[in-house]
Amino acid sequence: MTLAIFDLDNTLIADDSDYLWGQFLVDQGIVDKTIYEQINARFYEDYQQGTLDMVAFLRFALKPLTKHSLDQLHVWREQFMAEIITPVLLSAAQELVDEHRAQGDTLLVITATNRFITAPIVALYGIDNLIATTPELVNERYTGEIVGVPCFQEGKVALLKDWLEKTGETLQGSYFYSDSHNDLPLLRLVDYPVAVDSDEKLRAIAVAQGWKMISLRG
């Protein structure tokens, strides 16, 4: 079967779920507004510029998970999904996913954003396979560390290759849909790279390489 791979943030959804989760924590008074909001915005800008220190960001982003029980985190996540994520779901993205499903393709989301945030979002699109940065969970508490490598840039390629070995899937005829130049290592690996509502850096490369370019927000 053909593998159809999708980035999540600003590709299947019309915003960045990692950044939105941080803002949700601020708005709910779960973290300190003055400090957290400023740092969250700085890391997001670094991501857009391609200069993100992923280890430092994960240390920052996962820390709030360590301070609360799993039950409480799930309550907040349910509220986050209903109030923040539902409005940024894209009907055109669902149609694209369904088109690949109808063709019998294997569907996979691969995202840098951690699995705690992204798993329920991916489930809304009816996609069973997810590769994401995985926060470490010990005795029903998040530790602030991750399992394996961050699912970011070359890390996406490494984790995908591990997944391919375990599942027996291949990249023959594969698609990858992404908005970000941070995903260039994986875009260059698949047979059919597709730039989706792309940032300026990716748009320029997509034009030069003759890659397909689409919008899911129209």
What torsion, rounded to 10 degrees, do the Cα atoms 10, 11, 12, 17 define?
A: -30
How far apart are the C-alpha atoms of 180 and 186, rounded to whole Å? 11
* Per-residue model confidence (pLDDT) at position 107: 98
How far apart are the C-alpha atoms of 162 and 118, rounded to whole Å? 20
* Per-residue model confidence (pLDDT) at position 44: 86
Q: Which CATH architecture has domain 3-14+89-214?
A: 3-Layer(aba) Sandwich (3.40)
How far apart are the C-alpha atoms of 1 and 114, rounded to whole Å? 27
What amino acid positions are annotated as catalytic residues?
Answer: 7, 9
Domain boundaries, the chain: 3-14+89-214, 17-87
Exposure class string for 62-101: b at 16+ Cβ within 10 A, else e: bebbeeeeeeebeebbeebbeebbeebebeebeebbeebe
What is the three-class DSSP state of 78?
A: helix
**This prediction's pTM:** 0.94
What is the three-class DSSP state of 105?
A: coil
- The one-digit pLDDT tens for each residue of the chain (218 residues) are 899 999 999 999 999 999 999 999 999 999 988 888 889 889 889 988 889 888 889 899 999 999 999 999 999 999 999 999 999 999 999 999 999 999 999 999 999 999 999 999 999 999 999 999 999 999 999 999 999 999 999 999 999 999 999 999 999 999 999 999 999 999 999 999 999 999 999 999 999 999 999 999 97
Domain 17-87: homologous superfamily in CATH: SG protein - dephosphorylation function (1.20.1440.100)
Phi/psi at 124 (5° precision): -65, -30
